[in-house]
Chains A and B, each alone.
Chain A
Amino acid sequence: MLLTCIKTEQRKLRHSYLWLVFLVIPVLPAFMGAGNYLQNQGVLQKEWYSLWTQCSLFYSNFFYGPLVALYCAYIWRVEHLNHNWNQLMTMPVPVPFVFLSKLFLALGCTVFLQLWMWVLFVVTGRLVGLSGMPPVQILVWLLRGSFGGMGIAALQLVLSMVIRSFAVPIALALMGSVTGLLVSNKGLGLFWPYSLMLMGMNSNKDQDIVGNILGFGISAVVFFVLFTGAGIRYLKKRDICAG
């Protein structure tokens, strides 16, 4: 049943040009990061690690949140339009599956974005003249970033479900990402969902900043479960507003 719901959700996204946005926008930080690396080679001397600091800097600090927010807002946009809420809620599927199927797509989008960043990272690394492949540790950071991003994806999905506007959740994601940077600089990143992505990605650092990996894992899982639970509960309890 859940699989059918996921397929249905995928079908709703056809011809949306979302793929184009997700393909093009990450190219910018990757290539600009590479350019920055080339310009500052006097300071950046740790090869792949230094390139990583430049490529991950802006992507995870400011742009992952709004990008996944765009995706989540689009997923719910279909329901907010043309009285589709009525149809959605009368479908013969359990309510949690409605939310979980959309969440599955948002998580898939996160993983795709991260892997695309990896491909771009390798390509730009080769272009700037780095030899071999990047250290496995960076791939681990990237996947850890995906893990940290789960909570953000779940939160954005809830926001896009509750807020009928397409634009507001995206702006909230940008604001969340900026505050995420400030909060993580204060050392409180584990308590703010938007900080988890940049911490997981080890953004702009060549030494691992996640000292407490267990704490990071617990924080990511707690936020994910909390927002997913809140989303399902909202969908079950609140009356819909179709219009």
Chain B
Amino acid sequence: MVREWKTEWMKTKYRGIGWMILAFSGLVLLWSLWAYGSTPSEQLEDGFRMSYLQLALMDTILMPVMIAMLASRLCDAEVKGGTLKLLCTMEKKGRLFDLKLLTGAVYLAVYVALQVGIIFLQAGRLDFTRPLQTVQLFCFIVQVYVVSLAILLLQVVLSFFFENQILPLAAGLFGSFVGLFSWFFADGPVKKLFLWGYYSELCFIINDWNQDTGAVTYYDAPFDWFSLCLLLVILAAGYAAGKKLFLRKEI
């Protein structure tokens, strides 16, 4: 198991995945610097709430494409390199699938950690007055990480199944679109139908924009535990189905 785990990391060498994670994090940092820069100072007092909402929105746009790319790069050695037959004679086919997911999950964890770093960086720089609530930070991490993990699972399955990577990447683009628009959907079952819509579904901050003054006020909303449980069920079922499909795949 350890040897296979090491092999997975050797496959990622020169793939530039780490750079990609850094580049996307840099973009989020740049975007948030711009967003905070154009925010009145009195609104920045509630900076943590603002961060949770804005970063989740940025993730909805960026993450589906980033994850599609991550999955595509992770599966390059097998798909583009045509080494699946060779690898499956040396290691268990199911384990290859698991380790691929696990590698992606580690990269996602790094990305989420960098986002938390961005929040603290902005908090230190702009002096957020309202104190940090650990529960909210935890909810934010769960929100971004679990949804991204579910998308990663879908993308890994797509990347393994289609030699032509246009479909997985188009799915990523489609996901960005759907996810973005899901922020404008009315609450209801439709939102729960799309995996990418869970970024907004699990958002626990709401805002109110005053049309006359232009001021934005942030409020707490109850964390949607039902949606989280539903997502975890989808994740578990998707994992079982994806692995079964991969095991049955003709190589």
Contacts and interface: CB of A to CB of B under 8 A. Distances in A.
B31 A178 contact: yes
A175 B166 contact: no
Contacts of B170: 21, 25, 70
A134 to B, nearest CB: 22
B184 A66 contact: no
B177 A175 contact: no
A62 B176 contact: yes
B181 interface: yes
Contacts of A185: 34, 38
B68 interface: yes
B101 to A, nearest CB: 18
Interface residues of B, number: 33
B23 interface: yes
Contact of A29 (B30, B177, B211): B177
Contacts of B34: 182, 185
Contacts of B76: 165
Contacts of A24: 174
B180 A17 contact: no
B103 interface: no
B211 A43 contact: yes
Interface stretch (B58-66, B112-120, B122-130, B227-235): B58-66
* Interface magnitude class on chain A: 20 to 34
Interface in A23-62: 24-25, 28-29, 32, 35-36, 39, 43, 58, 62
Residue picked from B20, B38, B61, B177, most chain A C-beta under 10 Å? B177
Interface string B132-150: 0000000000000000000
B27 interface: yes
Contact of A74 (B38, B166, B180): B166
B223 interface: no
B166 A63 contact: no
A114 B121 CA distance: 41
A167 B166 contact: no
Given A21-B166, A35-B184, A174-B65, A167 B72 contact: yes
Nearest to A80: B80
Contacts of A18: 166
Contacts of B65: 66, 170-171, 174
A175 B23 CA distance: 9
A167 B73 contact: yes
A166 B165 contact: yes
A174 B62 CA distance: 8
A179 B31 CA distance: 8
A182 B66 contact: no
Interface in B1-47: 16, 20, 23-24, 27, 30-31, 34, 38
A170 B69 contact: yes
B55 to A, nearest CB: 14
A16 interface: yes
B99 interface: no
Interface of A: 16-18, 21, 24-25, 28-29, 32, 35-36, 39, 43, 58, 62-63, 66-67, 70, 73-74, 77, 165-168, 170-171, 174-175, 178-179, 182, 185
14 contacts: A25-B173, A32-B181, A165-B73, A166-B165, A167-B69, A167-B169, A170-B65, A171-B24, A171-B65, A171-B66, A174-B61, A174-B65, A174-B176, A182-B30
